[in-house]
Structure 1
Amino acid sequence: MKTLMRALLKLFGWKQVGELPDFKKCVIIFAPHTSNWDFVFMLMVRFCFKMDVAFLGKHTLFKPPLGWFFKWLGGIPVERSSKNNVVKQVVAEIQSRDRVQLALAPEGTRSKKPYWKSGFYHIAVQAQVPIVLSFLDSKTKTIGIGDFIHPTGDIKQDMDKIRDFYKDKLGIKPEFASDIQIEESPKS
């Protein structure tokens, strides 16, 4: 599958860069998320790097006829409007596994928003796992794995590092890129 995905990327004029760090558990963020095509590119990153990822998806994705496919890809259905604490549920899921690479799009949507959702950060802090920075850059037609951080719990300091990494990455539809900052409301 890795060879096929790299061939497809090359066919479309894209390239893959970087190396996946060897962490047993981590949160992988994929940004910028501005188009429906991002999911396809995320899958290409997954196969190019031989990742065994889990991802959170809107619960409606997991209904027939394609629900089985998204579960097979590693999907975990999430009811985003639920009163259940999604962060705690995901942290428990990470802690229950020997190995897990949880991939998330921190924007939470393809629409322009004034901030990223903070769940990825709180999940990583509470599960005590690193955050791997994965990206798509339409300007250079590159997808890949960049740096990683071990979150300190100082969200402002850590977001400065994350913002610095993503500042020059353009999504497929740059006009829909969300600002790289976190909503100020605390999550637990």
Structure 2
Amino acid sequence: MKKLIGKFLLGIMGWKLDITVPVKTIPKCVLIAAPHTTNWDFYYAVSAFWAMGIPMKFFIKDSWTKPWYGFLIKALGGIGINRAQRSDMVGFAAKQLNTKKHLYMLNTPEGSRSYAEKWKTGFYYIALEAKVPILLAYADYQKKMAGIGKVIDDIQNKTKEEVLQEIEAYYFNIQGKFPENYNKKIY
């Protein structure tokens, strides 16, 4: 049912789905979504992931999961996190990945919809600890296309800089809704 809803939601907005990455063969991963320049990114991301049949979870401020609409955020895949408490987010996320058969852990490493000087790199450490690939998801507003376009696997045999360079090169030509809010130099 979610597949049909996702395809319908993309279709009514005139967007196309990029399904070039064989998601059915990748049971677990860290999923990056960029550029993240507007709240509309969430709409397109959820629609695309539903249309692809991806079992996705994401971290969100726990203040979004506690009010009356918190059940909806959780149903969409939200895991409430109290950011005021110091905790081992990398270990927690890796444990989530290691205890599930199928899970895509969504991450927006810019950390903001505003211009960011550099990305947060927790996604890299989560993938490294959980021994899962990193998938690169996007919503390109210029092309009106959303999906997952690249897999970075075997990160245990690459340096952090090599992984970041590969990611930076991939996202270089992808257009966010507000391009001025996206720093193409991610590290």
TM-score (norm 2): 0.90
Deviations 1:110-150 (A, max 9, x none): 11111111011110011110001110111111101101001
What residue identity is the alignment partner of 1:64? P
- Per the alignment, residue 86 of structure 1 pairs with 89
- Provide the identity percentage: 32
Distance 1:109 1:128, change over 3 A: same
Distance 2:8 2:80 in 1: 31
For residues 149 and 175 of structure 1, what CA distance do their matches in structure 2 show? 27
Q: Is contact 2:10-2:48 (8 Å) kept?
A: no
Matches of 2:143 and 2:39 in 1, distance apart?
19
C-alpha distance in 1 between matches for 2:109 and 2:121? 7
The amino acid that maps onto 2:177 is I
| More displaced 10-residue stretch of structure 1: 146-155 or 165-174 | 146-155
1:117 to 117, 120, 126: 120
Q: Which residue of 2 aligns with 1:186?
A: none
How many pairs align?
182
Query: Structure 1 runs of 4+ off > 3 angstroms?
Result: none
1:176 is matched with which residue: 156, 173, 181?
A: 181
Give unpaired runs (5+ residues) of structure 1: 183-188
CA contact (8 A) 1:116 1:179 kept: no
Q: Which amino acid aligns with 1:3?
A: L
User: What is the distance in 1 between the residues matched to 2:134 and 2:185?
Assistant: 15
Give unpaired runs (5+ residues) of structure 2. none
Matching of residue 134 in structure 1 with residue 137 in structure 2: yes
Tell me the equivalent position of 1:13. 14
> 1:166 is matched with which residue?
171
Question: Residue by residue, what CA displacement relative to the aligned partner does 1:19-76 show, whole Å, maximum 9, x if unpaired?
Answer: 4422221111111100011111111111110111111111111011111111112211
Matches of 2:64 and 2:131, distance apart in 1: 29
Q: Which amino acid aligns with 1:23?
A: I
